[in-house]
Amino acid sequence: MKMNKFWLATAIMAVTASMASAKTLVYCSEGSPEGFDPALYTSGTTFDASARPIYNRLVEFTPGTTQIEPGLAESWDVSADGLEYTFHLRAGVKFHSNDSFTPSRDMNADDVIFSFERQQKEDNPYYTVSGGTWEYFQGMSMPDLIKEIVKVDDLTVKFVLNRPEAPMLANMAMDFASIMSKEYADAMLAAGTPEMLNQAPIGTGPFQFVAYQKDAVIRYAANADYWAGKAAIDDLVFAITPDASVRYQKLQANECQVAPYPNPADIDAMKANADLQMLEQQGLNVGYLAFNTQQPPFDNPEVRRAISMAIDKQAILDVVFQGAGMVAKNPIPPTIWSYNDAVQDYAFDPAAAKAMLEAAGVTDLSMKIWAMPVQRPYNPNARRMAELMQADLANVGVNVEIVSYEWGEYLSLSKATDRDGAVLLGWTGDNGDPDNFLAVLLGCDGVGGSNRAQWCNPEFEDLIQRAKVTSDVAERTALYEEAQVVFKREAPWVTIAHSVVFMPLRKEVTGYVMNPLGGHSFYGVDIAE
Amino acid sequence: MLKFILTRLATFLPTFFGVTLIAFAFIRLLPGDPIIVMAGERGVSPERYQELLHKFNFDKPIWEQYIYYLNSVLHGDLGDSFVTKKPVVEEFFALFPATLELSICAMIFAVVLGLPAGVIAAVNRGKIFDRTLMSAALVGYSMPIFWWALLLIIVVSGKLGLTPVSGRISLMYYFKDPTGFMLWDSLASGQKGAFASALQHLILPTIVLGTIPLAVIARQTRSAMLEVLGEDYIRTARAKGLSPLRINGLHALRNALIPVVTVVGLMVGTLLTGAILTETIFSWPGIGKWMLDSIFRRDYPVVQSGLLLIALIVMAVNLTVDLLYGLINPKIRKR
């Protein structure tokens, strides 16, 4: 006990002493993490606090892009049939240590295999720890995809797949694929505290977890042994601040240096503030209005095109997004590779729309528009958006009734193939791969599920299926570009908007790069003296 | 007195079961199921949905789920959060000290200012002080908390720089194994400036959370005092030539306190649960915000067990208030 107090005092003194001289970056995060094992959770707030500072993955997204670069794997080979991915691991990568654990070896193939098997194999002792449901592993179809993971030698791991899957590499850069320490997991299991893997995380990442006070503060220290070099800042602190106006005040008072998700109403004042800088980027998302293409008259592409032309999207952007958005013409945002900028959107033209509806023999049309009950980055106010559409469509003689349901019901009911009405919804990408938008939202497999337009077009389906099984990026790009042309011609959705994400920082902060996938990471960030 | 306590305790049991039932039913009456809400736009496959239903016992009949819940509660197991996968009790007691500390400070603030204000207003009935005070109380009572908090932050913290914007203590200070009561932790740590920092962080949230109770207590004290001041025994005391201080302070205030104590007791319950807005704005890590988030996420175990714990605490406070009555007013004891 005496010993304990001694250590406590030393630790406190060490922390206070280092706080005085060290470079500390305070990030006013928008919410609390659910835990620190990224594979257990699905929210971006949790990933910001766990996967990005604490862990690495086999491959990583190059900062500021959706491209893949080496991470814990220095290189990789893909077999000609696309069924085998062999990763060559980096040597000499150190795991963090804490009060109860000091690693005895460097990261190796066992850690990689453990990180995935705990999510896949029911006989793995960690499969049920912390009530794990492994939502992302399941959601990305990993259990069906991965046949086995083989240790070739200490620094070589081979993933054998059941079918070729081009987005596999991008999946390996996702947060759920973070590499955990098997040695730590074994030690915690032996100590009878396996949940510590989630509560006192050990990773290989640029920052080491120090402490979390629930709903208040998370503390990290720079990992001095980080394989890519120590971070420029010494201490990273997340000050959990749920209210956007308060985040802005804290930023002004220099109580934090980075504060995400500003109120749209504050953005102009922030831009004018000489102490702040403002970064912006399109979000990895799309907001859309999905027709039910299996129900007349919306089974007729001409009717869908006419409705698209009757809606004034720019007005929606101005009113609903207040400038924090851009008009969408494709089902994928421009930050994703293969975005086809040559596609022409339907111009806003009520007169032509009216004529097209008459030519298609549609008169006195009444339809429902479903408005989501929640705010989303791709649609900050669905009710308002639906009202604007209602007014636009009244001008071409279409009578619109707006309906809404509780969010859970909304998501379930909108899946039905016999659903009455067009649905406002959207999507935020997971891994920056076009397949993650086009196949999930518009593929034939998604009909009755995530494909809210209930749209199954053979020409489109053929293109995206071919793109899924080839790993050649140039070839895939060509296929996806063509798929976007087919999509626009057939108009199963009215594409509405991609959000624009703003990021206010103090002037002194350098090296911060916005991530098109939406997360926040602080490796490479420095504070000018 | 013993009999009084025992009858009070006897009503505790049915209330306890009532609360478990209401807490259990309340969250299930809301539309939407936690699995679909958790999955969001991403959705779950029908097979996976069934699997998860089974895992969380949602495939059982509702009465069976309730029996199961009651059984675990009586065995001291309040369940694990769906979201964080941690025991509800652990989360509750990690956050509760923050709410309690803030509530106590707000209550002290309200009583220390509200009581004298009410007494002075009553004694000076109809004069300018009384009118100003009662108008101020009405404003305080009806002011939107959210607006009031932001106004204070922008003016006091932003423009004047007198207090920190939010949080419980400066990020410089860091305590290992804290009790959660920041004033105590900062004192016990012995770190220079820590206690002052914790106090500074308490000022604005205390004012914001204490404003409504302050207004209520001031008004309640005033009207109770006015009633008592009209009683015969006060006139007698005046006739005897007692000093105004003795009349107002001793004879009148003691009798006027009974309704005031009632209000204070009821306010404690309101403070514990009503701190949601204050906690959200000041990034105060308490149970109000935690409960609110859990309702939105349909985190059944947290909502039902969190409600139960709060209800138990409010019941305990009410019991204490009842006993306090007995101390102040012997008439109630004998009834």
What is the phi/psi pair of residue B132, to 5°? -60, -45
- CB–CB contact A237 B95 (8 Å): no
Closest CA to A94 of A81, A110, A82, A105: A105
pLDDT, position B274:
65
- CB–CB contact B36 A138 (8 Å): no
pLDDT, position A11:
47
Other Cβ atoms within 10 Å of A331 Cβ, number: 21
Interface mutation target, options B145, B283, B291, B299, chain A, most CBs of A under 10 Å: B283
- Smallest CA–CA distance, residue B138 to chain A, in Å, is 27
Residue A15 confidence (pLDDT) above 70: no
Residue A192 confidence (pLDDT) above 60: yes
pLDDT, position A481:
97
| Nearest CB to B165; choose among A12, A246, A412 | A246
Task: Give the strand pairing for A235-239 and A217-222.
Answer: antiparallel
- Tokens for A397, please give them: 């003689």
Arithmetic mean of pLDDT, A176-200: 95
- CB–CB contact B174 A214 (8 Å): no
Closest CA to A327 of A289, A291, A286: A286
- Smallest CA–CA distance, residue A244 to chain B, in Å, is 9
pLDDT tens digits for range A279-312 = 998 889 999 999 999 999 999 999 999 999 999 9
DSSP-assigned beta bridge partners for residue A498: A326
Q: Is B101 on the interface with A (CB under 8 A)?
A: no
Residue-by-residue DSSP string for A456-515: --HHHHHHHHHHHH---HHHHHHHHHHHHHHHHHH-SEEEEEEEEEEEEEETTEES----
What is the rounded distance in angstroms from the CA atom of residue A211 to the CA atom of residue B175? 10
What is the rounded distance in angstroms from the CA atom of residue A484 to the CA atom of residue A330? 6
Residue-by-residue DSSP string for B41-104: GG---HHHHHHHHHHTTTTS-HHHHHHHHHHHHHTT---B-TTT-SBHHHHHHHHHHHHHHHHH
pLDDT tier at B273, thresholds 50, 70, 90: low
- Nearest chain B residue (CA) to A424: B41
- Smallest CA–CA distance, residue A100 to chain B, in Å, is 15
CA A440 to chain centre: 14
pLDDT, position A322:
84
pLDDT, position A484:
97
Q: In chain B, positions 276-305, which contact chain A (CB-CB < 8 Å)?
A: 280-283, 285-286, 289-290, 298
What is the phi/psi pair of residue A101, to 5°? -150, 135
- Smallest CA–CA distance, residue A355 to chain B, in Å, is 36
What Rg do the C-alpha atoms of chain A give, in angstroms? Answer: 25
Rounded to two decimals, the pTM is: 0.84
Tell me, letter by letter, the H, E, C secondary structure of A250-306.
HHHCCCCCECCCCCHHHHHHHHHCCCEEEEEEECCEEEEEECCCCCCCCCCHHHHHH
- CB–CB contact B285 A245 (8 Å): no
pLDDT, position B276:
81
Tell me which chain A residues have a C-beta less than 8 angstroms from the C-beta of B189. 12
pLDDT, position B207:
94
- For helices B300-328 and B88-123, give the axis angle rounded to 10 degrees: 40
Other Cβ atoms within 10 Å of B57 Cβ, number: 11
Burial category of A84 from C-beta neighbours within 10 Å (exposed 0-12, middle 13-18, buried 19 and up): middle
pLDDT, position B333:
60
- % of chain A residues with pLDDT over 70: 96
Q: Which residues of A474-485 are buried (b: 16+ CB within 10 A; e: fewer)?
A: eebbebbbbbbb
pLDDT tier at A4, thresholds 50, 70, 90: very low
pLDDT tens digits for range A83-102 = 999 999 999 999 999 999 99
Arithmetic mean of pLDDT, A147-158: 96
- Smallest CA–CA distance, residue A253 to chain B, in Å, is 7
| Nearest CB to A408; choose among B32, B150, B173 | B32
- CB–CB contact A246 B282 (8 Å): yes
pLDDT tier at A1, thresholds 50, 70, 90: very low
pLDDT tier at A5, thresholds 50, 70, 90: very low
Other Cβ atoms within 10 Å of A306 Cβ, number: 28
Residue A336 confidence (pLDDT) above 80: yes
pLDDT, position A10:
44
| Nearest CB to A243; choose among B94, B281, B286 | B281
What is the rounded distance in angstroms from the CA atom of residue A516 to the CA atom of residue A511? 16
Comparison of pLDDT for B314 and A258, the residue scoring more: A258
Other Cβ atoms within 10 Å of A3 Cβ, number: 7
pLDDT tens digits for range A48-72 = 999 999 999 999 999 988 889 999 9
Tell me which chain A residues have a C-beta less than 8 angstroms from the C-beta of B298. 408
ipTM attached to this prediction = 0.80
Q: Is B47 on the interface with A (CB under 8 A)?
A: no
Tell me, letter by letter, the H, E, C secondary structure of A394-455.
HCCCCEEEEECCCHHHHHHHCCCCCCCCEEEEEEECCCCCCHHHHHHHHCHHHECCCECCCC
DSSP state of A373: S
Q: Which amino acid is at B294?
A: S
Residue A341 confidence (pLDDT) above 50: yes
What is the rounded distance in angstroms from the CA atom of residue B84 to the CA atom of residue A219? 19
Tell me which chain A residues have a C-beta less than 8 angstroms from the C-beta of B290. 215
What end-to-end distance do the CA atoms of chain A give, in Å? 42
Arithmetic mean of pLDDT, B245-266: 80
- CB–CB contact B298 A237 (8 Å): no
- CB–CB contact A427 B94 (8 Å): no
pLDDT, position A514:
93
pLDDT, position A8:
45
Q: Which amino acid is at A49?
A: A
- Smallest CA–CA distance, residue B267 to chain A, in Å, is 25
DSSP state of A70: E
Q: What mean pLDDT is reported for chain A?
A: 91
Arithmetic mean of pLDDT, A189-218: 94
Task: Give the strand pairing for A235-239 and A24-27.
Answer: parallel
DSSP state of B80: B
- Tokens for B33, please give them: 């199921």
Residue B12 confidence (pLDDT) above 60: yes
pLDDT tens digits for range A231-267 = 999 999 999 998 889 999 999 999 999 999 998 888 9
Residue A111 confidence (pLDDT) above 50: yes
pLDDT, position A48:
95
Tell me which chain A residues have a C-beta less than 8 angstroms from the C-beta of B167. 216-217, 239, 241, 255
Return the sign of the alpha-carbon dihedral for residues A468, A469, A471, A476.
Answer: negative
Comparison of pLDDT for B201 and A16, the residue scoring more: B201
Residue B43 confidence (pLDDT) above 80: no
Comparison of pLDDT for A255 and A21, the residue scoring more: A255
| Nearest CB to B43; choose among A131, A195, A449 | A449
Mean pLDDT is lowest, of A431-440, B174-183, B186-195, for: B174-183
